[in-house]
Structure 1
Amino acid sequence: MPLTAATVYRDYIVDGVPSSGNNKPKKSEIRNLLSGYESIITAFTSTGGLIFSSLALLNADLAHAANSMAWVIGDATVANNGVYRKNGASGAGSWTRVADLPYSFVKLADAGAGTPNAIQLTSSIPTSASVLRIANVFEANAGNVTISENGDAAKSLLTNSGNQIAAAGLVAGMMIAYIDNGTSFRLLSDQASAAIQAASEAAAAAAAGSASAAAASAAAAAASAAGVSLPAVAANRMLVDNAAGTTRESKTLSETMTILAGAVSGRTSTFSLDNSTLYKARSLKDRWLDSYRLAEELQFTGGGATATDAAVLQALFNRAKAAGRGEIILPRGDIALEALCFLKNPAATNAIRIVGQGPASTRFLNTSAGQVMFWIGDDADGVNKTSGITFEGLGLAANVAPNDSGSGFFLRNTSRILFRDVFIEGLRNGWSLGVGAGNLNNAVYTRLHNCGCNTPGTSGVAMIRLGSGGILNVGGDAYGWNAGGGIVFIEHDNASYNWDGLYITNQFMEDWSKYVYSHGKGIVNAEWTGGQMDRAAVFFQLQPDSGISGDNVNWNIHDTQLLGFGVVGKGDYGLLTAHGSGTVNNVCFRDNIVKGLTNKGVFTTSGDGVKVHGNQFVNCGNSGTSVLQIDQPPANGVVSVTNNDIYLGNNSFASNYTYGIDWIGSTNARRKSFGNNVVAGSTGAENGTA
C-alpha cells in the first residue's frame, strides 16, 4: 500500500493511540514518500498541469491554453476539490470540473474531538464520493453513529446491509473501512463480533423468558380456574373481590361505582370522587359517565386568546348530544369565542348542562362588536323545540365594545332553558327571547336564577329583550343588576305577538333608564315582587306604540321599593300606563314603597283597569307635580286608589308636590278613591273627583 504523509509523520507509533508512544519517522519511508511526490510532480508539470488551493484561485487564473489541466486541493468546500479542464483560449473561457482527485483511498484520523456516537474525522487531503475511506476508532460507541469529515455535515454510519450500528459495535482502537453512499456512509468492514453476539444472545434470552412467563401464566390461570367457582355471566355486571378477599361477587355497574367511591359502610376506598368542586354532590353516574371537559379537548386554547374555542365548544356540544352525555365542564379562565356557538337540542331526550367554575372564574369573551355569542334553538325544527339546556357558573364579558347588534344569549324556538349563576359584564343585550320570530310562543319557559349584570353606558336595546313567547322567571339571590342609566332592563317590542308570563322576584337593581318597557303587542300576566330598584327615568312603562292593537293585561307589582333620590332623569315616574288602540287592564300596584321621584308615582292616561292600593309615596312629585295622576277609565275598565300614604319625609326637597291625587276628567262611576292619607300637599290632597 503506498505511503502517505499522514502515515510517515504520524504522531504515535499506533496511529491515533497516544499510549503507544511517540512515532519517529524512518528515513527510508521519508525517501520513498518524497520520491513518489517528485515523480508525480514531474509527470504532472510535464503535461502542463497546475495545482490550486481553492476554486476561487483557479477561476481567477485564465491565462492557459484550452484543455490545460489543473487540480484544486484544499478548498474549504469539499465538492470544489477535483480535476479541472480549461475551456477557451488563453485569457478567456472558464474551468470545468471533470473528475475527482485521483486518490483511490483517503486515510482519516479520529483524535477524539467528537463523541462516541458523533465521530469527527480529519484528513490531510480532501475526500470525495469516489474514494475509499480508512479511519481509526477513538472510543467505543453507545448507540447509533454519525461521522463528520473535515468539518462537513454529518451522515449516519450504517452497516454493510444498511442497519444502525449496535452499541459497542465500534470499539476503541479498531480500524474501519467505509464508502460514501450519498445519504449515508456504509461500512465495508463489519461491527465488532462481540457486540453482535451479545445482542443476539440478549434477544434469545428475552424470547425465552417471555415464553417461560407465558407458560407460567397459563399454568397459573388453569390452576386458578380449576379451584374457583365464578358467578354466572349476566349483562352489565362486573366481578369484584369481596371485602374479606375470599371470593368474587357479581356487581352491577352502579354497585361497583359505589364501592370505588368508598360510600358503602364497612368498605374503604382510596379512590375518592370528592374533588371539592361545586359538582361533588352530583350522582356517581353523572360523574363517571355523563361528563366531558372542555379543557381536555385537543384544539382548546383558553387563556382569552382569539383562536377556535367557539368551534371546539360547538363540536363538544354536538358530541355530547349525540352520545347522550349530560354535562360539559368548563375550566377556569377566559375563553374567547371567535364566532357564535349554535346550540340546538330539538325534542331533547337528555338534558345538557354547560357548567363553569363560577361567573368570576369562567368567562366567555366576545371578539367583535356585533357578535352573537350563543344562539340557542332553531326555528327550522318546528314543534321540536330545543330544550333541556342549562348554563351554570359562568360569565359573558365584552372584550370588544359591543354595538346594538351584539347579544349574549339569543333564544329561538326553545323551551326549558335555564341560566343559573350567570353574570353579564359590559354587554348591551344579555338575553333575547323569541326576538324577530315569526310564530306564536317561540321561546317559552326560560329561567334566570341567581343571575346578574353590570352594563354601563347607553344602548338602543334592552338587557333582556322579549319577542314572541312566554314564562320568563327571574329569581334567586341576584348578583345585582347594575347599569349606568342609559339602558332598559326588560323590553317587549314585538308588534305581532304578546309575551305571556313574566315573573320577577326579589331582585336588586340600580340605575336603569326603565325597568320594564312594554311597547309592542303587550305583556300578559306579569308579576314583579320584592327587591329594590334604585333610580330610573320610568320604572314601569306599559305603553304600546301608537297604532298597535296591544294588551298589557294582568299585572301585579307589589312589595318592592322604587327609589329615585330626587334626581331628574333618575326617578321621574313609578308606573306609567297608556295604550295605542289596545288596552291596559287589571294592573295592580300595591304595597310598594315609592320614594324620591321628581314627577309622578303613578301616571295613567286613559285610566284603564288600574288599582293603586296600600303604597307609601314619600317625597314624590317634588318638582311641583301631583304624586298620582289618574285619567278616565275606558268603557270596560275601572280605576281605584285606596289606602295609600302620600307625604313628605323629614328631609323634604325644595319643591313640594301640588296634589296628592289629580283626577283628570269629569266624575266617573268606574273610578274610586278612599282611605288615602295625603299630607302636606302644597295645593291640596286631591284635585277633581273620582
Structure 2
Amino acid sequence: MPQTAATIWADGPGTSPYDPPKSDIRDWGTWVEQNVAAFLGNSGLAYLTRASLFADLAHAANSSAWVIGDPTVAYNGVYMKSGGIGTGSWARISDLPYSFVKLLDAGAGTANAIQVTSTIPTSSSVMRVANVFESNAGDVTVSENGSAPKALLTSSGNQIAPGGLVAGMMIVYVDDGTAFRLLTDQASAAIVAAAEAAAAAAASSAAAAAASAAGVNLPAVAANRMLVDNAAGTVRESKTFSQVMTLLAGAVSGVASAFSLDNNTLYKARSLKDRWLDSYRLAEELQFTGGGATATDAAVLQGLFNRAKAAGRGEIILPRGDIALEGNVFLKNPAATNAIRIVGQGPASTRFLNTSAGQVMFWIGDDADGVNKTSGITFEGLGLAAGVAPNDSGSGFFLRNTSRILFKDVFIEGLRNGWSLGVNAANLNNAVYTRLHNCGCNTPGTSGVAMIRLGSGGILNVGGDAYGWNTNGGIVFIEHDNASYNWDGLYITNQFMEDWLKYIYSHGKGIVNMEWTGGQMDRAAIFFQLQPDSGISGDNTNWNIHDTQLLGFGVVGKGDYGLFTAHGSGNINNVCFRDNIVKGLSNRAVFTTSGDSVKVHGNQFVNCGNSGTSVMQIDQPPANGVVSVTGNDIYLGNNSVGSNYTYGIDWIGSTNVRRKSFGNNVIAGSSGAENGVA
C-alpha cells in the first residue's frame, strides 16, 4: 500500500514549493484507480458482515469485496476471493481505503469513559476526528462502536489532565496499537491550572518547614559531638563520643558505668554494633568476684548464659585473670535458636579454676531434654586449671545429650579429665558432633581416667596444632569404656603428643570408624590398644592409622607396643596400620591375637623389638576376614638402643590362605628375618 494522501500532501518546506515528489503522487493515484476499478468491476460488492460475505461464493477467482459494518472491527476491510464460482474462500487483504473517520460522542458514556460511534468502521490505519460531549475530570478511555475501551493519552503518552478535554471541542487521534494518542493539544487552561496547583503546594510546604524550623532550639555545632535526647525526652543535648558510648553500654548491660576500650576485653577487635547489640560482659555483672575468697562466679556465669539465651545474644566476653568456680556451671541450650560463644582473652590469660577435687567445672546438656539436644555452644580462648588437686571424679567439660559443641583454643592444665562425652549415658548417640580445634593440655601425675573419655555418641574431631598434648606417662589420652554403647566416628588430625600411657584405649563396646593421621606421638606404654574388657562383646572396626610417627626411646614403659589388638569376645575388623614411621619401641610394633583382621602396609619399623622380641607378631585371621603384611621395611638404624630384635615378623600358627605377606624388606634379626610362614 502506498503512502496516504495526508502524508504525501503534508506542507513542504518553503525552499521546495514543488513538493511532494510526483512519483509518490503517481503511486497513490494508481492504487486508488486499481481499487475503484476492482470495486466497479465486481459490480461494487459490499457486505455488512464478514459472515454474509463468507456465505456468498458465487463469484469468480480474484473478485474483491468490502465488509463495512461487522461488529468485530478487525473483520471490516477489503477481501479477495480464491477458487472458482461456487467454491473457494474469501481472504482479507487490506483495511478499507478511508484516510480518516468521523466519530460522534453523543454523551452515551461518561466524562472519563467516552463512547463514540461512526457510520463507517475504524481501523488501526485511519485517523479519527471526534467531538467532546462533556469535560473530563480525570484519566480518559474511549470505546469506538462498542469495542473494548482504550486509554486516550496525550501525544507524548501521558494521561490527560483534568479539564484537558472541554465540552464542544474537536479532537484528532490515532490508534498506536495499545492506546489512543491525541494529535491535538489538550486544553491549555488545564495544564496551566495543574502547574499553578503544584506551585501553590510547594509554597505551602516551604512555609510549613520554615515555621517548624523556627521552633527548633538546638545546641551549637561542635566538632566530634552528637545530639542525644535527655532522659526526660524534653531537650536535645550535645554529647561527646565517649559520653554516648557510656550511655549505650549502660543501656545494654543495665550497669551505669564509664565505658572504655581496654585490654581487658575484646571490644577493640569488634564492631560497635556487635559490642552493644550482641554481647554480654562477665566483668560487668554486679555479683562477679573474679575469683575472690568468696567466689560465686559459677552461678554468675550460668545466670548470664541464661540471660543471653533468652535475649537472643550471641556472645559472652570473659575478662583476663583467674576465675574460681564454686560449683559446676550448668549450661543447656536445647533446640537452640541462637548460638552462644563464650570467649576469653586466650588460654593463658583467662582461666577457670576448680575449687574442689571432684568438681565438674562445666556440665553441658541435659538428658531430660530428650531429642532436643543442647547445641550451638562455643568455648574459645580460655583455659581450665587445677586450683585444687583433682581426683578421678573431677572433669573439665562434661557433655550429655549434646550436638555441635565447639572448643577452640582451649587449654587444660593439671586436670585429670578434660572432656567427658556421653559418659554413663543410658541411650544411643548421646553426645554427637563435638569438635576440639587448636586445643591442648599439660597434665603431670597419674590418673584412673583419660584426658578425653568417650561413652555413648559419635563424631569427635580433634584438629589444629596450636598447642601440644603433654603428660609424664601416667594418663590415657582417649579412652572408650562404655560397656553398652559404642562410639561411632573419631578423627584425630596433625596432633603433637608427648609421654602418654596410651593414646587410644578402646576397652568398652568399641570404637567404630576411627582415623588418626599426621602429627607425632612420643612415648607410650601402648600407643593403640584395641582390647574389650573381659565379658564385653566390643567391636572395633574400620580403624585407619596412617602417615604419623610413633616414637619410643628404647625404655620399657615409654615405648613398648605400637598397635596392640586382642578381640576377646568381640570383633576386630578392617584395622589398617599404614605408611607410618615407628621407631625405638622396646617391644612389638604390631601385636595381634588370633581372629583379628589387620592390614599392615608401607611402614618403616626402625630399632623396634630392642628388648629382645620380634618387631611384629601376627596371629591367625578371623574366619570372615584377612590379615596382610605388605611393603614394610624392618631394620636397625643408626643409634640403635638395646638388643637386636629376634625376628622381623613372627607368624603364629600354621599357613593360612587368608593371611598374606609380600614386598616386605626385612633385615634379619638375631634369630632371622621371619619365624614361620604367612
TM class, shorter-length:
0.5 to 0.7
Partner of 2:669: 681
Q: Distance in 2 between matches of 1:581 and 1:292?
A: 53
Partner of 2:547: 559
CA 1:362–1:272: 2 relative to 1, 3 Å: closer
CA 1:526–1:285: 2 relative to 1, 3 Å: farther
**Does the 8 Å contact 2:508/2:532 carry over to 1?**
yes
Q: What code does the residue aligned with 2:593 have?
A: T
**Does the 8 Å contact 1:506/1:531 carry over to 2?**
yes
Partner of 2:398: 410
Give the one of 407, 410, 433 matched to 1:419. 407
Partner of 2:129: none
Q: Distance in 2 between matches of 1:610 and 1:666?
A: 17
Partner of 1:397: 385
Q: Distance in 2 between matches of 1:314 and 1:221?
A: 54
CA 1:275–1:331: 2 relative to 1, 3 Å: closer
Give the one of 639, 651, 669 matched to 2:627. 639
The Cα offsets for residues 637-688 of structure 1, whole Å up to 9 and x where unpaired, read as 1110111110111112231100000010110011111111111411111111
Mapping 1:287-326, distance limit 5 Å? 287-303=275-291, 305-326=293-314
Q: Distance in 2 between matches of 1:597 and 1:489?
A: 19
Partner of 2:522: 534
Q: Distance in 1 between matches of 2:294 and 2:519?
A: 39
Partner of 1:388: 376
**Is 1:479 aligned with 2:505?**
no
Offset at residue 548 of structure 1 (A): 1.2
SS at structure 2 position matched to 1:512:
strand
**Does the 8 Å contact 1:305/1:335 carry over to 2?**
no
Offset at residue 581 of structure 1 (A): 1.6
CA 1:306–1:611: 2 relative to 1, 3 Å: farther
Unmatched tracts of structure 2, length 5 or more? 1-207, 217-225, 229-243, 249-258
CA 1:538–1:279: 2 relative to 1, 3 Å: farther
**Does the 8 Å contact 2:265/2:318 carry over to 1?**
no
Q: Distance in 2 between matches of 1:529 and 1:336?
A: 37
Offset at residue 274 of structure 1 (A): 11
SS at structure 1 position matched to 2:276:
helix
SS at structure 1 position matched to 2:500:
coil
The Cα RMSD (Å) is 2.5
CA 1:371–1:275: 2 relative to 1, 3 Å: closer
Offset at residue 286 of structure 1 (A): 2.7
Partner of 2:536: 548
Mapping 1:400-479, distance limit 5 Å? 400-479=388-467
Mapping 1:30-109, distance limit 5 Å? none
Give the one of 640, 661, 666 matched to 2:649. 661
Q: What code does the residue aligned with 2:456 have?
A: S
**Is 1:379 aligned with 2:367?**
yes
Q: TM-score, normalised by structure 2?
A: 0.62
Partner of 2:483: 495
**Does the 8 Å contact 1:286/1:326 carry over to 2?**
no
The Cα offsets for residues 241-266 of structure 1, whole Å up to 9 and x where unpaired, read as xxxxxxxxxxxxxxx99xx9xxxxxx
Q: Distance in 2 between matches of 1:239 and 1:529?
A: 60
Q: Distance in 1 between matches of 2:227 and 2:334?
A: 39
Partner of 2:342: 354
Partner of 1:622: 610
SS at structure 2 position matched to 1:315:
helix
Q: What code does the residue aligned with 2:295 have?
A: A
**Does the 8 Å contact 1:545/1:579 carry over to 2?**
no
Q: What code does the residue aligned with 2:455 have?
A: G
Q: Distance in 2 between matches of 1:275 and 1:478?
A: 23
Partner of 2:513: 525
The Cα offsets for residues 580-614 of structure 1, whole Å up to 9 and x where unpaired, read as 22111111100100010000000011242211011
**Does the 8 Å contact 1:648/1:680 carry over to 2?**
no
**Does the 8 Å contact 2:291/2:325 carry over to 1?**
no
Q: Distance in 2 between matches of 1:309 and 1:382?
A: 29
**Is 1:344 aligned with 2:336?**
no
**Does the 8 Å contact 1:546/1:579 carry over to 2?**
no
CA 1:374–1:272: 2 relative to 1, 3 Å: closer
Offset at residue 288 of structure 1 (A): 2.6
Q: What code does the residue aligned with 2:549 have?
A: Q
The Cα offsets for residues 459-510 of structure 1, whole Å up to 9 and x where unpaired, read as 0000000000000000012311001111100000001001000000000000
Q: What code does the residue aligned with 1:574 have?
A: G
Q: Distance in 2 between matches of 1:350 and 1:283?
A: 20
Offset at residue 227 of structure 1 (A): 8.8
Higher mean C-alpha deviation, range 382-391 or range 548-557: 548-557
Unmatched tracts of structure 1, length 5 or more? 1-219, 229-237, 241-255, 261-270
**Does the 8 Å contact 1:478/1:507 carry over to 2?**
no
CA 1:279–1:477: 2 relative to 1, 3 Å: farther
Mapping 1:145-294, distance limit 5 Å? 223-225=211-213, 282=270, 285-294=273-282
CA 1:304–1:641: 2 relative to 1, 3 Å: farther
**Does the 8 Å contact 2:333/2:374 carry over to 1?**
yes
After TM superposition, what 4+ stretches of structure 1 lie above 3 angstroms from structure 2?
220-228, 271-285, 303-306
**Does the 8 Å contact 1:609/1:633 carry over to 2?**
yes
Q: Distance in 2 between matches of 1:402 and 1:277?
A: 30
**Number of aligned positions between the proteins:** 435
Q: Distance in 2 between matches of 1:333 and 1:273?
A: 17
Q: Distance in 1 between matches of 2:453 and 2:374?
A: 19
CA 1:585–1:304: 2 relative to 1, 3 Å: farther
**Is 1:592 aligned with 2:573?**
no
The Cα offsets for residues 85-126 of structure 1, whole Å up to 9 and x where unpaired, read as xxxxxxxxxxxxxxxxxxxxxxxxxxxxxxxxxxxxxxxxxx
SS at structure 2 position matched to 1:424:
strand
Partner of 1:512: 500
**Does the 8 Å contact 2:610/2:644 carry over to 1?**
yes
Q: Distance in 1 between matches of 2:496 and 2:385?
A: 21
Partner of 2:659: 671
Q: Distance in 2 between matches of 1:283 and 1:531?
A: 37
Q: Distance in 1 between matches of 2:333 and 2:650?
A: 54
